[in-house]
Amino acid sequence: MLLAYRLPRDPSTPRSALWRKLRRLGATQLLDGLAALPLDARNREQLEWLADEVFEAGGEATIWIGELASAAQERELATRMAKAVAADYRALIDDAAAARSERAGRRRRTLGRLRRELRRIRARDYFPPAERELAQQAVDELAALVEESVR
C-alpha cells in the first residue's frame, strides 16, 4: 500500500508530524512524497486518516494498493523494512545492556521504558529480523535482574 503525497514546504509542522506518524506505523519512504506500508485493515485505515491530514494541511494525497513487478524487488523492500526495525531493536539491546550497571531504582524505571519501547517496535515489525528475539531476551534478562534485586 502506498501513500503518495505533496505538502507545502511551509509550515514545516505538518511535514514533521506526518513523517513521525509514518515512522511509527513502520512505513518506508521510497521517494520524497512516497511511503510504503504492508496492506492490512488497520494500516489502511491509519493511512487514510493521514491522507486526510495532508489535505487539511493544504497538500495533496492519494492512496494506492500496489504490487512490485518482480519478486526480487519485493524481497528487497521487505529486507529494507526489516533492516530499519533491526536497527531499532539493536539500540534497545544496547540500552538494556547499559541498564545492567544502573542502580536498582533507576534500573526498574529503565525496564519499564524499554518494555514500552519494545512493544512500539514490535507493532511496526512486519518482517521480523533475528534481532527481535534478541531484544526480547535482553528485556527479559533485565527484568530477571530487577526481580533479583528486590528479593
Partner 1 sequence: MRWATRRHCHVDRAACAWLIRRFLDPEAEFVFVDDPDEVPADATPFDMRGVELSHHGGDCSFETFLRRYELADPVLWEIAKLVHEADLADERYDAPEAPGLDVLLRGLSMVRDDEELLALSGPLFDGLYEYRKRALLTGREPA
Which of the stretches 13-21, 28-36, 87-95, 128-136 binds partner 1 when contact is defined by CB under 8 A?
Answer: 13-21
- φ, ψ of residue 38 to 5 degrees: the values are -60, 145
Q: Does 74 participate in binding partner 1 (rule CB under 8 A)? A: no
Q: Do 89 and 132 meet the contact criterion of CB atoms below 8 Å apart?
A: yes
Q: Which is nearer to partner 1, 14 or 33 (CB)?
A: 14
Distance CA 109, CA 38 (A): 34
What is the grid cell recorded at 103?
542502580
- What residues have CB less than 8 Å from 79, skipping those under 6 apart? 127
Distances (CA, A) of 103 to 97, 109, 132, 142, 149: 13, 10, 26, 12, 10
Least Å distance, CB 54 to partner 1, is 12
Rank residues 40 and 76 by Cβ distance to partner 1 and give the closer one: 40
* 123 is a contact residue toward partner 1 (CB under 8 A): yes
Closest CB 42 distance from partner 1, rounded Å:
8
Residue 110 makes contact with partner 1 by CB under 8 A? no
65 binds partner 1 (CB under 8 A): no
CB of 151 vs partner 1, minimal distance in Å: 26
Region of 37 on the Ramachandran plot (φ > 0 left; ψ -120 to 50 alpha; else beta): beta
Rounded CA-CA distance 108/102 in Å is 9
Q: How many residues belong to the site for partner 1 (CB under 8 A)?
A: 14
Question: If binding is defined by CB under 8 A, does position 2 make contact with partner 1?
Answer: no
- Which residues contact partner 1 by CB under 8 A? 17, 20-21, 24, 41, 46, 48-49, 51-53, 56, 119, 123
